[in-house]
Amino acid sequence: MLGSEPFQTEKTLISDLFREVLQLLRGEVRLAKAEVQEKLGTAKNGLALIAVALVLALPTLFILMFAGVYGLIAAGLSPALSALSVGAAGLLVSGLLAWLGLTKLSLEHLTPTRTLDQLKQDRALIEELVK
């Protein structure tokens, strides 16, 4: 019976190690889910900014073009210069909003970096325990 005790101890240690690794991995999965949900919230904000930019861009261009035409009549400016100035201002504002939205959608902002860092640490810990 004395010979079976070290085997039981090793068996128990291995069993405990696998249980701890599984618990660790489950925790990492929960962390990854939470971080991905956070990143998706950021992406939603980016999409909302893009939507606002698109909604504002078309009517802004039409209204500004009409204002340019009326300004041309009132100020005596050339039609081309008036339309160009008004259109450029509308595009600048909508372009800025679209750019802000796109920056929120970049892969850098969506990558679950905290989870990846934690997984690297866990891997190193597991490798150390297995040695």
**Domain span including residue 21:** 4-130
pLDDT at 42: 81
pLDDT, tens only, 28-72: 888 878 887 888 888 888 889 989 988 888 887 788 678 777 886
Q: Report the SS3 class of residue 77.
A: coil
pLDDT at 101: 84
pLDDT, tens only, 58-69: 887 788 678 777
Rg for the chain, CA atoms, rounded: 30
Whether the pLDDT of residue 2 is over 70: the answer is no
pLDDT at 1: 45
With a CB cutoff of 8 Å and minimum separation 6, the contacts of 83 are 65, 68, 69
Of the pLDDT bands very low, low, confident and very high (cuts 50, 70, 90), residue 4 is low
Question: Number of folded domains in the chain?
Answer: 1
Using the CB atoms, write b or e for 9-22: b if 16+ within 10 Å. Answer: eeeeeeeeeeeeee
pLDDT, tens only, 91-126: 888 899 888 888 877 777 667 777 778 778 877 877
pTM of the full predicted structure? 0.42
